[in-house]
Amino acid sequence: MFDGLPEELDAALRRAATPRTYRAGQVLMYEEDYPDQFLLLTEGRVRVWRTSTGGTAMTVHMLGPGTMPGCVAALRQMPYPATVTALTDIRALSWPADKMRQLIAAHPELASNFLQMIAERNEEMLQRLHEVSTLPVAQRVARALLRLAADGAPGEGGVQVALSRQDLAELTATTLHSVSRLVSRWERAGIVAAGRKRVRILDAERLETEGETAK
């Protein structure tokens, strides 16, 4: 959001921001609530999920630092289309919705950054839809993990991504059984190490090979 902004606007935004913290498992936004803030994640990862008409939860996104969950709803002054839950402890910056909308209207540079963020999220959704329609499960799951690893937590044994196997299944439009079987195979091959609500990528190159489109 701050990329390329004039110093004066950058400073004004930072002064107007209120730091927020959320514990893992805490809900940041509820589906159908009206937004009263713009929220920028600075640390941690959240799960964005919706409830189907049958009452089943469906993971839509996993978002990390630099993203603004619910920003489209806040811009359009409409209810949140999904619930946002903290997967890890979260640090964030918050602005009153009315104040941020005024700033966006007054500063083309800020409006351009918001358009860029929304365009990137839309592009990601289109890519995922294409993958669900055309790729086998292994390739979809590998690509999803690699995308999530881009802002994951690097560690001594690789990059850790905070999500459960069920979340991964929902993100890739497959079943928990298929994901569990696949992750277990990759564990035996030394590509990943899985734990409770986390997957650590041990060998990104081999995972990239798993995600390549079949010839």
Q: How do residues 158-204 score in pLDDT, each as one tens digit?
A: 788 888 898 899 888 889 999 999 999 999 999 999 888 889 999 99
Q: How do residues 14-30 score in pLDDT, each as one tens digit?
A: 999 999 999 999 999 99
As a whole number, mean pLDDT of residues 105-121 equals 95
pLDDT at 152: 62
Query: Which residues touch 52 (CB under 8 Å, ≥6 apart)?
Result: 58
Mean pLDDT score of the chain: 90
What is the Cα–Cα distance from 210 to 167, expressed in whole angstroms?
A: 19
Most confident of 73-82, 159-168, 203-212: 73-82
As a whole number, mean pLDDT of residues 81-107 equals 95
What is the Cα–Cα distance from 123 to 109, expressed in whole angstroms?
A: 21
Q: How do residues 129-165 score in pLDDT, each as one tens digit?
A: 888 888 999 999 999 999 888 766 565 567 888 888 9
As a whole number, mean pLDDT of residues 92-99 equals 97
Question: How much of the chain exceeds pLDDT 90, in percent?
Answer: 67
What is the Cα–Cα distance from 173 to 176, expressed in whole angstroms?
A: 10
What is the Cα–Cα distance from 144 to 95, expressed in whole angstroms?
A: 31
Q: What are phi and psi of 204, to 5 degrees?
A: -65, -35
pLDDT at 22: 98
Return the DSSP state at 54: T
Tally of CA atoms within 13 A in the half-sphere of 100 that contains its CB = 26
Query: Which residues touch 108 (CB under 8 Å, ≥6 apart)?
Result: none
Helix, strand, or coil here: 62?
strand
pLDDT at 117: 93
As a whole number, mean pLDDT of residues 48-71 equals 87
Task: Identify the band that residue 215 occupies on the pLDDT scale cut at 50, 70 and 90.
Answer: very low
Report the range of poorest mean pLDDT among 5-19, 42-56, 147-161. 147-161
